Amino acid sequence: MSLCKFSKYFTLYLIGMALVWGMTGCNMLKSSGPTATLTAVPSTATPLPPTATPAPMAVLVNGVGIQLDDYQGELQRYQAAQSAAGKTVDAATAAKTVIDNLVDEQLLAQAAYQAGYQLDDTGLQKHIDGLVSQLGDAAKLADWEKQNGYSDDSFRRLEKLSMAAAWERDQIIAGVPQTAAQVHARQILVFTADEASKIESQVKSGADFATLAFNYDPNTGGDLGWFPQGYLTETAIETAAFSLKAGQVSDVIKTDLGYHIIQVIAVDPQHPLSPDQRLALQHKALEQWLQAQVAKSTIKILTP
């Protein structure tokens, strides 16, 4: 057999064997029983942790919330303090007072952070550690919190708010100077319009004001001392005093106290403030700042 024929037969042999094996493989598959049906099994996704339910809010100040339970705790503490002081405050007044105080603190705290104030958890913990040190141990602080209706979380939250508010308050009151424009005045105070008119006529006729003042107030001669604007409780007297020059006398001024006639003794554009005067002006400055902030802020009360 030639080499060519051998190659041809060998090739046919290989093809035949392949067909045999192919048929055998098919028979083996058939003999193994019915073909299994493949069903796609969806992959199981890892379940997400449940989303925390937002705490209910009592008030929103420029979008920042004050939690309802914090408000309720402050309300209870305020009412308890009033009761301990022997005062009776109706529910509506108590609620408004507490809301107003919390709003003021939130406005101050927001201004503090805008001005660069920072207080992280480490700083807050350092402050609380200082309180623990003052009380003696952590158990005493925990007892105090419980007695006053705080949870540990609410205490930390409100303490953090209070610290930021106090920082901003200190910046505001520090801006009140040590001196201010002041007048030194004396007054004559009587309780009828007729008496006041009589004194006014005497002064205009040339009577010495100081002598008349001592007739009505032998102890001090009606001396009001030095005072800046924003210090006297009777603003009408203050307004009149700052409109006069040294030696001038006012018209009759009617207030709830009676009828006043005042004389300005001296004027000083930069007179030193007494500690009491500066404290009063600081309080006024803080009040005015808060009023301005409330006027331009968005405040939503969410509790009845």
Question: What pLDDT digit, counting tens, does each position of 66-109 carry?
Answer: 999 999 999 999 999 999 999 999 999 999 999 999 999 999 99
Span 4-18, pLDDT tens digits = 333 333 333 333 333
pLDDT grade for 304, boundaries at 50, 70 and 90? confident
Span 243-260, pLDDT tens digits = 999 999 999 999 999 999
pLDDT, mean of residues 163-192: 97
* Structural domains for the chain: 57-175 (1.10.4030.10), 180-270 (3.10.50.40)
What's the pTM? 0.75
pLDDT, mean of residues 184-210: 96
Q: Across all residues in the chain, what is the average pLDDT?
A: 87
Structure confidence at residue 5 (pLDDT): 36
Q: Nearest-CA neighbor of 60 among 52, 51, 71?
A: 71
